[in-house]
Amino acid sequence: MSLPIKENIYYVGAQDVERRLFDALIPLPDGTSYNSYIIRGSGKTALIDTVDPTKTQILLDNLKALGIQKLDYIIAHHGEQDHSGSIPAVLKVYPSAKVVTNQKCKDELIDLMMISDDKFMVINDRETLSLGDKTLEFIFAPWVHWPETMLTYLREDKILFTCDFLGAHLSTKELYFADINKLYQSAKRYYAEIMMPFRVSIKKHVETVRSLAPTLIAPSHGPLHNNPAFILDAYQDWVSDTVKNEVVIPYVSMHGSTQAMVDYFVKALEGKGIKALPFDLAEADIGELAMALVDASTVVIGSPTVLAGPHPKAVFAAVLANALRPKTKYVSIIGSFGWGGKMVEQLSALLPNLKVEVLAPVLAKGYPKETDFKGIDKLVEAIYNRKQ
């Protein structure tokens, strides 16, 4: 099914409603889509990105239904397979098409998809390509979220194709999504999981997009944005250095001792008017955890000592937080132990990317007692008094 966007510009991508996991890691509560677009110029026809290899046939059927007999260019913004995985199949049907991309992406596509060298047309940053009455301008946007990523601006129609950037894992049959709150949450989840580690680069790219003043943003996941300010303002907030006085508490408890500490901690924080966001790692959606990390000033990991170290689920949370590089300012650890161990040292060593102040941890021997709860009170006081 293709959908018209503007005259001679069509959506030809595929929905993946059933998909529930991305990268064998990220939960997809609302599925996702692999957006692909056809631009028919007066002289040439270009396909913007392809789809995940599992959906190749849908893309090919969409192109056929539109009557695309000759394809001149396949614009590859990004080497990752969910957008480039169908390029070999498209090239089989349209053998004269050239894959238009930058040198880095070309190298990736040769490595990942074994596309032969003669199929490529390599372009430079800000180079243009004429389709006749329509002009494509390529804008390199490295680290969104790979080093080769780029955007394409369709000048005459003021449409910016952004691939992963400004997207959302949200499957919908509509080009535009009416429920703006839902779209905001999906876009934030997507930012948290994929873009947040590259916050510094993303800041610059947000400015670049604003300077182009597109009237339509067409990413390669999720709905299009016919109000670019909505998504750009949201990104500006997320990438800013401003944090909220919120405490994210990823925790795990085996026999209730750490749970009792977390419960007390949450209540004490709320008593001071500080928002507490506890995530029981035994069942937490890590996408929700990632979203909470976007704004929070403080992360406190709760874990029992198991086999002389932190619980493996707490290790996972620490590794994840370290990889996502949130703008967190303060970190601490609470939990219980039976006979000793190196939990604090081991967890702290897993967070080298976070440029944070470490607040005094609170460790209880066995079930927490009066002195341990006093320690938690002190931790809450320290969080309360820190500058945000």
Of the pair 19, 145, the CB lying nearest ligand FEO is at 145
| Interface residue with ligand FEO, options 119, 189, 221, 225 (CB under 6 A) | 221
For residue 112, the minimal CB distance to ligand FEO (Å) is 12
CB-nearest residue to ligand FEO: 80
List beta partners, residue 99: 74, 120
Does 78 participate in binding ligand FEO (rule CB under 6 A)?
Answer: yes
Does 169 participate in binding ligand FEO (rule CB under 6 A)?
Answer: no
d(CA 70, CA 119) in angstroms, rounded, equals 15
Does 80 participate in binding ligand FEO (rule CB under 6 A)?
Answer: yes
Stretch that binds ligand FEO, among 77-85, 121-129, 182-190, 274-282 (CB under 6 A): 77-85
| Interface residue with ligand FEO, options 83, 119, 188, 205 (CB under 6 A) | 83
Q: How far is CA 4 from the centre of its chain?
A: 27
Q: Which pair of tokens denotes residue 358?
A: 């470490």
Question: To the nearest 10°, the Cα dihedral for 203, 207, 213, 215?
Answer: 0
| Interface residue with ligand FEO, options 49, 148, 157, 164 (CB under 6 A) | 164
Q: What is the 3-state secondary structure (H, E, C) of 229-290?
A: HHHHHHHHHHHCCCCEEEEEEEECCCCCHHHHHHHHHHHHHHHCCCEEEEEECCCCCHHHHH
Does 148 participate in binding ligand FEO (rule CB under 6 A)?
Answer: no
Of the pair 82, 157, the CB lying nearest ligand FEO is at 82
User: Tokens 């874990």 sit at which residue?
Assistant: 303
For residue 208, the minimal CB distance to ligand FEO (Å) is 19
- φ and ψ at 45, to 5 degrees? -120, 135
For residue 222, the minimal CB distance to ligand FEO (Å) is 10
Q: For residue 187, give Cα distances in angstroms to 121, 140, 224, 302.
A: 32, 22, 11, 28
Of the pair 205, 329, the CB lying nearest ligand FEO is at 205
For residue 153, the minimal CB distance to ligand FEO (Å) is 19
d(CA 335, CA 250) in angstroms, rounded, equals 11
Q: How many residues in the shown chain lie near ligand FEO by CB under 6 A? A: 7
| Interface residue with ligand FEO, options 16, 30, 49, 82 (CB under 6 A) | 82
Does 295 participate in binding ligand FEO (rule CB under 6 A)?
Answer: no
d(CA 347, CA 332) in angstroms, rounded, equals 10
Site for ligand FEO in 223-282 (CB under 6 A): none
d(CA 351, CA 120) in angstroms, rounded, equals 41
Residues that bind ligand FEO (CB under 6 A): 78, 80, 82-83, 145, 164, 221
